[in-house]
Amino acid sequence: MVKRLLPFKSNFLQLSSGINYHYLDEAPDNKSNSEAVVMLHGNPSWCFYYRKLAQQLSSTHRVIVPDHIGCGLSDKPDDSTYKY
């Protein structure tokens, strides 16, 4: 169901700590040299919050939307391995 409501390709960056950091990176017709818009959510939210705006802007701009560690599709390490 999430994939239907969040119709973007998920990207992951593995940090040196081993934590997987999720982000969306959409551009018009795969033109990554388009002017970029970065959308940062608050807590406790995730990239899903910006899905409709990202769909609209990605036709003319590169749209980058990360999920903070502990939120959305990024890893959620426990307190013993990560200090929030």
Residue 57: its H or E element: helix 51-57
Question: Domains of the chain: which residue ranges?
Answer: 23-69
More confident residue, 81 or 59: 59
Task: Look at residue 81 and tell me whether its pLDDT is greater than 90.
Answer: no
Task: Look at residue 1 and tell me whether its pLDDT is greater than 60.
Answer: no
Distance between CA atoms of 38 and 1, rounded to whole angstroms? 25
Distance between CA atoms of 67 and 58, rounded to whole angstroms? 18
pLDDT at residue 75 in the model: 95
Cβ distance 29 to 62 under 8 Å? no
Q: What digits encode the pLDDT tens for the residues 9-45?
A: 999 999 998 999 999 999 888 676 789 999 999 988 9
3-state secondary structure of 47: helix
Q: Which has the closest alpha carbon to 29: 1, 70, 62?
A: 62
